[in-house]
Structure formats: structure tokens, C-alpha cells
Amino acid sequence: MFALLLALAVAQNEISRRIERARRSLSESSHVNMTSVWLIPAGLLLPAQLVALLSVSLYVNMALRSWSGTRPGQPHRVAANATTASLSACTAGLAMLVSPQISVPAVCLAVAIYFVVNALLTSLGLYLANQANATVEGCLGNMDDNLLELATLCVGGLLVMVLTDEPLLSVLVILPLYVLQRSMLIKRLEELATTDQKTQLLNATTWQDGAQREISRAERDNGSFGAMMIDLDHFKRINDTYGHLAGDDVLKAVAAVVKQETRAHDLVGRFGGEEFVALLPATSKEDAIVTAERIRQRVSELVISTKTNEGAAVDIERQTASIGVAAYPLDGSSIEEVMASADAAVYAAKHGGRNRVVGSVEVALAAA
């Protein structure tokens, strides 16, 4: 049984080696591999010594074959990962205390135990490795990471049942795993192609494409939408005073505020530099102004803890934003005209004293 699991796992690693290497090179934090597919059966069917040997063998194989040339498999990290996987699998084997034989309840319990123990040990290791910058998502992983881990554990649970009845059929597991890894790589590449990596908002091209689709929908349904352009005031001063890394932290904090104050189906993107844009479907200009005012207020209340280029801790506060609001079809019949109107409103807000929302360009310019 040990030889069969090791052979299948190494074969799967070799077949998907390029995909695993690409996924690892593109991952920014935690990286979910396929080892749990083989370690769940090992935890239930093998003694602890062979579970540990299988885990070490798999991680050494991945470090030498899949990870070389990307982010190197540093020995202490490989050892930590292999230890975590071994402990998770051995603990999952305690599910056999529920039933002396392989059964559906025992396998389901083993999957749950493995998932919880692995999550706790991994998050503890990530926290201790970087306590200063540790976050809940950074340690526990995002929803996609956890769903992928659960998916691999479920495949491992099914593999347990196959190994106990028809061991040779276990070779059929390799192709689904290959497709699963490939689909995750494609998803990651799509995210990189459509997302601004600094703020995790839509990039300018993707936002423009989405806005074109929204204006086509509004034309077809005789609908409307609100749009806003958000420009940070005196942002260059932050880069000049504290450095570009501190400026990046400010951009991330403001992006988080804009995302939180808009709806899930709103189009929110980074337009370039210190400018953000948002398109609010089925929203009047008055409601868009209310949303913009909430964003402006929250940005002005931000206290952003960051560091200068020299490493000195600093809190950046009293950052303000000038926001221009426009609407379709009130301010234009195309997305270019609507955003030109919003841009003109930002210009009026700047001349009107900054840190304000402008929705009527003519009135604002007259007041200025």
C-alpha cells in the first residue's frame, strides 16, 4: 500500500510538474498542493512511521522537481511543511477509533480532522514567521485556498474507498488532479490579467470593458447608472516624504474603503496613479453622490500604519480625496462622455478646495 501511494503521488507530481511550478511562482502567500490526496489514505491505512516517510518523500520530490527554478524549496520550509502534513495525516488516522474498519463516517471524520489540524498548524507557522505583518487571511488563507484544500481532501477520501476494494483503479485519480491543478492555474492567470496587483481592484482595461457592457445594457433596458472618479489629494507629497512603499500602503487602504462602500456587483477599479473609478449600475446621480460622500468621509478618517524607506514606523492620517460624480444618460451618452464629466467634476473639486464631492460641474466652477 505504501509503495502504491508513493508511486501514484510521484507520477502525479511528474505529470503536473510544470503546472505546479507555475502555480507556485504566481502564488503570493500560502500555496495549496495536492499532497493531502495521498496523505489521507496513508493516515487511515498505514502506520505512523510510513505516513511520515511518505510525507517526507513527497515534499522532497516536489522541492527537487517542481519548485526548483521558481521559489526554491528552502530546507527548513520543506521540513516544516512535511512535518505539518505528517501530523495532520496521523491525527486524521484517529478517526479509525470510531470504526475498526473503513467506513463512510470514519472517512468523513478523517477529512474534517485533517483539514482542521492542517489549518491550525499552518496558520500558526505563518503567524510565527511574520508576526508583524500577519493577517487572518494571510494565515488561514482565502476562501479559494480553503475550498481547494477541501476538494483535494474529498478526492483523498474517495481514494480511500477505492484502495480498500480495487487498488488498481486508484490510477484514475491522476487525471482529475491534473485537470484541477490546471484549472486553478488558469483562474490565477485570469486574475492577474484583470486585476491591479497593488490594490486588488480591476485594472483600467478590465474596468473599461465592464463599463462598455454596462452602458450597452443601460441603452437596451433604458436604464441608468452612476459613476465616480476618486483622486487622492497631495498624494505625491506622501511618496516624496515617506517613500513609495508607504504610498502603496495608502493606495491599498483607500482601495479597501472604496470596495467596502460599494456593492458586490459595482465595477470598482484603479484608473492609474492615485485615481480610482467606480460604476454603480441602476443608481441615480443623487444616490451616487451619497455613496461618494461616505467614501470621502472614511478616507479622511483613515490612520494608515506603515514604514518609510528607511524602515521607520509612521502613521499617515488626514489623507483626503476629491471625488467627481456623473451619471448616464444625464451627463453623457457614452462611457467616455460620462467619465469625462466625472473628471471635470474632480477638477472642479480640486479648485473648490479639495476633500469634497462634486456632482454638478457648472455650480462648482461658479462657486470656485
In this structure, what DSSP letter does residue 195 have? B
Q: Tell me how far apart the terminal alpha carbons of the chain are, to the nearest angstrom.
A: 80
Where do runs of H (alpha helix) occur along the chain?
Answer: 2-15, 17-26, 36-45, 48-65, 75-92, 104-129, 136-140, 143-165, 174-194, 204-221, 235-242, 244-260, 285-300, 335-351, 361-367
Distance CA 70, CA 55 (A): 21
Q: Are 312 and 289 in contact (CB under 8 A)?
A: no
Taking Cα atoms as reference points, which of 323, 307, 311, 338 lies closest to residue 254?
323
Is 274 annotated as catalytic? Answer: yes
Q: Of the listed 20, 149, 214, 274, which one is catalytic? A: 274
Q: To 10 degrees, what angle do helices 104-129 and 75-92 make?
A: 150
Beta pairing class for 267-272 and 225-232: unpaired
Cite the active site residues. Answer: 274
